[in-house]
Amino acid sequence: MSVGGTGSGGPDVVIGVLALQGDVGEHVRALESGGARVVTVRRLAELESVDGLVLPGGESTTIDRLLRVFELRDALRARIADGLPVYGSCAGMILLADRILDGGKGQETLGGINITVRRNAFGRQVDSWEELLPLEEVTRGGPAVEGIFIRAPWVEEAGPEVSVLARLSAGPAAGRIVAVRQGRLLATSFHPEITGDDRVHRYFVEMVRDSVAATTA
C-alpha cells in the first residue's frame, strides 16, 4: 500500500485498473489526469500494491471467468471486504453488485454494494443511450456529466445504506438508478472514461486519498 508523501490535494495514492478485459487504457488516462499514480492489475502482487482499484467496462461474464483463471477473485473479494476503495463502470457495476438479474450461466459477482442490477438492461449495442446527468455529488454544481450507456446495466433495487447519485430522467428507462455509492465503493452504469471528462475519476481519486489518510492517520 502507498503511504508516501503528499501529492496535490492529499496523500499520494496508487490506483490499479483491473486489466483482464475491457477499456483499460481509457481508465488509466482518466485516473492519471485526476492526479493518481496508476498501475494495471493482472496478478496478486499487483493487487496487493494498490490503494484503490477500478473495474472497467467490458464483458462481465468474461471478467468473472478471468478473475478465476488469474486466481484474483478470492483475494479481491477479501480486499473489498477489508475496505479497499473500488470504482466499477458498466461491467464493473455488475461485479460490485450483491445481486444480478439476467446473468450468464454460473456468473457470480464480487459483491460489496447492496444493489440488484439487471445485466444488459439497455438491450443490444444499437440500443445504447446518452443523457446528461446532474451527478451533484461529483459536479458540485458544475456542468452535468455526459452519461454514455453501451449494453449497460441499471440498478433495479438499492438497499438503505446505498447513496443513489444519479437516475435517468428521460426515455423508456426514466427513473432507473445509474450511479451509486456505498462507503468506499462507487459504481456507474455509464462510461465516463470515454468522454474526456475526468470528474468522476477525480472524485474516485479523492475517495482513495481519504481512505489512505484515514488508514495512516
Average pLDDT over residues 139-144: 95
Q: Are 99 and 115 in contact (CB under 8 A)?
A: yes
- In this predicted model, what pLDDT tens digit does every residue of 180-214 receive, in sequence order? 999 999 999 999 999 999 999 999 999 999 999 99
Q: Amino acid letter at 189? A: S
Give me the pLDDT at residue 121, please. 87
In a domain, 128, yes or no: yes
Give me the pLDDT at residue 132, please. 96
In a domain, 201, yes or no: yes
Higher pLDDT, 93 or 10: 93
Euclidean distance between CA atoms 30 and 154, whole angstroms: 23
In a domain, 64, yes or no: yes
In a domain, 1, yes or no: no
Report the CATH number at residue 212: 3.40.50.880
Give me the pLDDT at residue 64, please. 95
Give me the pLDDT at residue 109, please. 96
**Active-site residue, 90 included:** yes
| Cα 86 from chain centroid (whole Å) | 6
- Per-residue pLDDT for 54 more than 60? yes
- Per-residue pLDDT for 11 more than 80? no
In a domain, 20, yes or no: yes
Choosing from 26, 27, 131, 191, which is the catalytic residue?
A: 191
Higher pLDDT, 10 or 197: 197
Strands 113-118 and 52-55, sheet pairing = unpaired
**Active-site residue, 206 included:** no
Partner residues linked to 52 by β-bridges: 15
Euclidean distance between CA atoms 6 and 28, whole angstroms: 20
- In this predicted model, what pLDDT tens digit does every residue of 18-41 receive, in sequence order? 999 999 999 999 999 999 999 999
Choosing from 26, 27, 90, 201, which is the catalytic residue?
A: 90
Give me the pLDDT at residue 124, please. 61
Give me the pLDDT at residue 104, please. 86
- Reported as half-sphere exposure (CB side, CA atoms, 13 A), residue 51 has a value of 26
What separation, in Å, do the N-terminal and C-terminal C-alpha atoms of the chain show?
A: 14
Choosing from 27, 193, 201, 206, which is the catalytic residue?
A: 193
- Per-residue pLDDT for 2 more than 50? no
- In this predicted model, what pLDDT tens digit does every residue of 147-177 receive, in sequence order? 999 889 999 999 999 999 999 998 878 999 9
Question: Residue 199 is placed in which grid cell?
Answer: 470528474
User: Which residue is listed with cell 438508478?
Assistant: 177
In a domain, 178, yes or no: yes
Partner residues linked to 132 by β-bridges: 146
- In this predicted model, what pLDDT tens digit does every residue of 89-120 receive, in sequence order? 999 999 999 999 988 888 999 999 999 999 98
Give me the pLDDT at residue 125, please. 53
Q: How many domains does the chain have?
A: 1
**Active-site residue, 32 included:** no
Higher pLDDT, 200 or 2: 200
In a domain, 121, yes or no: yes
In a domain, 61, yes or no: yes
What range does the domain containing 172 cover? 6-216
| CA-wise closest residue to 94 among 68, 74, 113 | 113
Average pLDDT over residues 9-23: 90
Euclidean distance between CA atoms 58 and 79, whole angstroms: 22
